[in-house]
């Protein structure tokens, strides 16, 4: 499990640790780790540290102090190090250390700053770290802008300046780093978009904070965690014990969603899939997934699902439509005390009538930002900008587990860390992949996982399967850290490809 924390949590842990150590110890550890991460970057560009050019962007706080001390270490190894002092003050001991090591420091001025950055092999962003509040002020914003054209490598100190460490929010100018060297523990903003997309590869430097950290605010499952959580068939398992998932999806207009949701469930290992819907989706599901047991629902029936048979969990909503008949299906399913996953059109019914969510069984909602905007009556952009906050709020307000889809998918449940998914590829942003995700999560619910684990394992497998489908099985296994997904060398995928790659994803865990 990879865990992450808010700035306040980190600061409290640092204070507790600092109280037991001589002054300056933590910053010394941080700077040593930072310099150690920079040296190979310089060696790669120049053959060695000696003679390379390093520019430090130095803000007025301790983040700048880290950059100055690391710069001093690199200067002692023969790098030419120039610090650009952006704040009204700078960390005095750090500045003295840099000067003593032969480094130089200049006050910010636009022309010279741009020239220095343009000539640097490495730019260290030490403008602000966990002490940042709000959008970058001037001249920090201008300096962040200059780094966009830097020909050298940009490494962020602790957090890319402009990214809010606690939320991942980005409100204005921001440093886009190729790598981020972070101290003590991951910060939420390094794992959650939009912040995560500015971090590059994240390297964690241990400064001894571990014993002082509280329960994490955010957590990311690893492949090992998912392997441990996944229900496994035992020798005595039969299809009922492995979990029967009921899926109510598709309509005569949107029949394809049904095939995709059923495919996700079949390939994710459901013991049995019972599929119930209107005539056209049933015909298509039967043709594509003969494994599914299908029921055509009687239009206008008072209890449309009476003939479906027993299930252990339900998925309702993908492509189901927003009319009266669909509403009756959603209502009947939510009236059971079974675990229910509500997606897509199902969420529209729930947004129009929240009383549907007052139920005895567990509920998993799987909205994208637009659907969550309707559920919470909040503008979509605000949700995109503050994803952790809104996923958490939705879970509390709606009394459900909430899986918020997006470039970093989040799973929120009251009183638990928000889980952030670390797998995926930009190629996943294509129609129908959400329906597959519903089927996977539904199969895991029916298999006995609770909503929180089913949602986070489903998101992980879905992202991994997408990578495998996009990259080909030989290349895609392994590597599942945030920020290391990318479309390089990958090919477009269709939603069913993701379902088909699920067995390979499970094998690769």
Ligand X SMILES: NC(=O)C1=CN([C@@H]2O[C@H](COP(=O)(O)OP(=O)(O)OC[C@H]3O[C@@H](n4cnc5c(N)ncnc54)[C@H](O)[C@@H]3O)[C@@H](O)[C@H]2O)[C@@H](O)CC1
Site residues (vs ligand X, CB under 6 A): 14, 18, 26-27, 30, 59-64, 66, 128-137, 140, 157-158, 183, 207
Alpha carbon 322 to its chain centroid, in Å, reads 30
Shortest separation between residue 357's beta carbon and ligand X, angstroms = 39
Copy the structure tokens of residue 462: 């879905």
CB neighbours of residue 477 within 10 Å: 17
Question: Is residue 160 a contact partner of residue 176, using CB atoms and an 8 Å limit?
Answer: yes
Smallest gap from Cβ 152 to ligand X, in A, equals 21
Q: Report the partner that residue 130 touches, choosing among K ion, ligand X, none (CB closer than 5 to 8 A by kind).
A: ligand X
60 binds, among ligand X, K ion, none (CB under 5 to 8 A by kind): ligand X
342 token code pair: 């509500």
Residue 382 structure tokens: 């605000």
> Among K ion, ligand X, none, what binds residue 125 when CB lies within 5 to 8 Å by partner kind?
K ion
> What residue 316 binds from K ion, ligand X, none (CB within 5 to 8 A, per partner kind)?
none
How many other C-beta atoms lie within 10 A of the C-beta of residue 360?
8
Residue 125, annotated ligand binder? yes
Q: Which residues contact 20 (CB under 8 A, 6 or more apart)?
A: none
Bridge partners (DSSP) of residue 314 are: 246, 340
Distance CA(101)–CA(116), nearest Å, equals: 19
Residue 181, interface with K ion (CB under 5 A)? Answer: no
State in angstroms the smallest separation of the CB of 140 from ligand X: 4
Q: What is the DSSP letter of 206?
A: P
- The answer to whether residues 346 and 330 touch, using CB atoms and an 8 Å cutoff, is yes
Q: Are 348 and 323 in contact (CB under 8 A)?
A: no
| Residue 131 contact among K ion, ligand X, none, beta carbon within 5 to 8 Å by kind | ligand X
Among all chains, which residue has been given the structure tokens 């479309």?
A: 487
Q: C-beta of 69: minimal distance to ligand X in Å? A: 8
Element (H, E) at 93: helix 92-100
Q: Is 157 in the site for K ion (CB under 5 A)?
A: yes
Do you know the residue count of the chain? 509
The alpha helices in 192-278, defined as continuous H runs, are: 223-229, 239-242, 256-267
Question: Please, what is the minimum distance in Å from the beta carbon of residue 127 to ligand X?
Answer: 7
Q: Of the two residues 63 and 277, which places its CB atom closer to K ion in the complex?
A: 63
Q: Which residue lies nearer to K ion by CB, 157 or 364? A: 157
- Of 30 and 404, the one with the shorter C-beta distance to K ion is 30
161 annotated to a ligand binding site: yes
Of 161, 312, 408, 480, the residue at the interface with K ion (CB under 5 A) is 161
- C-beta atoms surrounding 118 within 10 Å: 13
**105 known ligand binder:** no
- Is 7 known to sit in a ligand binding site? no
Least distance (Å) between residue 129 CB and K ion: 5
List residues near K ion by CB under 5 A. 125, 156-157, 161
Binding site for (6S)-NADPHX, by residue number, is 62-66, 129-135, 140, 158, 257, 319, 368, 435
């Amino acid at each position: 499990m990879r865990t992450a924390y808010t700035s306040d949590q980190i600061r409290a842990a640092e204070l507790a640790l600092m109280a037991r150590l001589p002054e300056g110890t933590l910053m010394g550890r941080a700077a040593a780790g930072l310099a150690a991460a920079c040296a190979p970057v310089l060696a790669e560009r120049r053959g060695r540290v000696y003679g390379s050019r390093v520019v430090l962007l130095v803000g007025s706080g301790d983040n700048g102090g880290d950059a100055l001390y690391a710069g001093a270490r690199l200067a002692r190894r023969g790098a030419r190090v120039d610090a650009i002092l952006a704040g009204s003050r700078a960390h005095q001991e750090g500045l003295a250390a840099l000067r003593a090591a032969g480094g130089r420091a200049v006050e910010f001025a636009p022309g010279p700053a741009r020239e220095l950055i343009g000539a640097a092999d490495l730019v260290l962003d030490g403008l602000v770290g966990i002490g940042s509040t709000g959008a970058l002020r001037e001249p920090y914003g201008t300096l962040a802008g200059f780094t966009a054209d830097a020909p050298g490598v940009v490494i962020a100190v602790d957090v890319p300046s402009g990214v809010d460490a606690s939320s991942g929010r980005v409100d204005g100018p921001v440093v886009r780093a190729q790598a981020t060297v972070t101290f003590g523990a991951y910060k939420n903003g390094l794992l959650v978009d939009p912040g995560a997309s500015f971090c590059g590869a994240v390297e964690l430097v241990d400064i001894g904070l571990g014993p002082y950290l509280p329960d994490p605010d955010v957590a990311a499952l690893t492949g090992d965690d998912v392997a441990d959580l996944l229900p496994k068939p035992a020798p005595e398992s039969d299809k009922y014990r492995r979990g029967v998932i009921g899926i109510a999806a598709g309509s005569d207009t949107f029949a394809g969603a049904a095939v995709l949701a059923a495919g996700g469930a079949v390939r994710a290992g459901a013991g049995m899939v019972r599929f119930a819907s209107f005539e056209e989706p049933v015909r298509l599901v039967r043709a594509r997934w003969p494994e599914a047991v299908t029921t055509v629902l009687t239009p206008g029936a008072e209890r449309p699902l009476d003939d479906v048979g027993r299930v252990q969990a339900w998925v309702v909503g993908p492509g189901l439509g927003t009319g009266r008949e669909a509403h009756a299906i959603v209502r009947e399913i939510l009236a059971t005390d079974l675990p229910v996953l509500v997606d897509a059109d199902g969420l529209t019914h729930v947004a129009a009538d929240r009383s549907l969510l007052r139920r005895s069984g567990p509920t998993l909602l799987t909205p994208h930002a637009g659907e969550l905007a309707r559920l919470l009556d909040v503008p979509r952009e605000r949700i995109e900008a503050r994803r952790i906050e809104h996923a958490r709020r939705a879970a509390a307000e709606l009394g459900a587990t909430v899986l918020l889809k997006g470039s970093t998918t989040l799973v929120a449940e009251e009183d638990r860390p928000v889980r952030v998914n670390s797998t995926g590829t930009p190629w996943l942003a294509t129609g129908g992949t959400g329906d597959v995700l519903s089927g996977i999560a539904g199969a895991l619910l029916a298999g006995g996982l609770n909503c929180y684990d089913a949602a986070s394992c489903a998101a992980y497998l879905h992202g991994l399967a997408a990578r495998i489908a996009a990259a080909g099985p030989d290349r895609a296994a392994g590597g599942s850290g945030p920020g290391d997904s990318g479309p390089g060398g990958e090919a477009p995928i269709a939603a069913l490809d993701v379902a088909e790659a699920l067995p390979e994803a499970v094998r690769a865990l």
